[in-house]
């Protein structure tokens, strides 16, 4: 599984996926959980959204509130979004955005995007983003949030 991690660093996600798949059967927890999580992320980057969601859901099922739980939920929601399931991704992003920290800020940004892509509710998107600007002013994605609110007001 370390080989997969190295391939991910090199942005060779296709090779990382294969390395994680090969390593997973021989691993036990906690390495197996970490491998499953990383496999899900590699597949997400490769735009294999259904497979990524299955891997990340498997991680959540086994790890519960493990160290990558918030990120796993976020990428499951992103997978739903990328497949055009705006209603379900919106539900997931709403839950995540209600939390704290960087992942909640990112979820707020994507929740606004759900509003502008799905039902075309730019008012709702602006409300989500205005709240995010207040709550996450020190977030690494604050510039993206501010940009997106400008788009929502256009």
- Interval 102-116: pLDDT, tens: 999 999 999 999 998
At residue 143 the predicted structure's pLDDT band, cuts being 50, 70 and 90, is very high
Q: How far is CA 73 from CA 62, 86, 131, in A?
A: 13, 15, 21
Phi-psi region of 72 (alpha: psi -120 to 50; beta: other; left: phi over 0): alpha
- Whether residue 72 is predicted with pLDDT greater than 80 in this model: the reply is yes
DSSP 25: G
For all residues of the chain together, what is the average pLDDT?
A: 94
Does 41 score more than 70 pLDDT? yes
For residues 39 and 26, give the distance between their C-alpha atoms in angstroms, rounded to a whole number.
15
**What residues contact residue 129 under an 8 Å CB cut-off, 6+ apart?**
108, 109, 112, 145, 148, 149, 152
């Amino acid at each position: 599984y370390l080989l997969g991690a190295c391939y991910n660093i090199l942005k060779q996600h296709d090779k990382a996926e294969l390395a994680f798949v090969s390593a997973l059967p021989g691993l036990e927890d906690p390495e197996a959980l970490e491998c499953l999580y990383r496999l899900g992320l590699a597949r997400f980057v490769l735009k294999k959204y259904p497979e990524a969601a299955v891997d990340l859901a498997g991680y959540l099922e086994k790890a519960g509130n493990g160290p990558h739980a918030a990120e796993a939920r976020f990428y499951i929601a992103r997978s739903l979004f990328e497949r055009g399931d705006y209603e379900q991704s919106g539900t997931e992003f709403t839950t995540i955005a209600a939390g704290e920290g960087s992942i909640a800020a990112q979820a707020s940004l994507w929740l606004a995007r759900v509003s502008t892509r799905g039902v075309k509710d730019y008012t709702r998107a602006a409300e989500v983003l205005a709240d995010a600007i207040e709550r996450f002013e020190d977030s690494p994605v604050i510039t993206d949030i501010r940009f997106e609110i400008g788009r929502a007001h256009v």
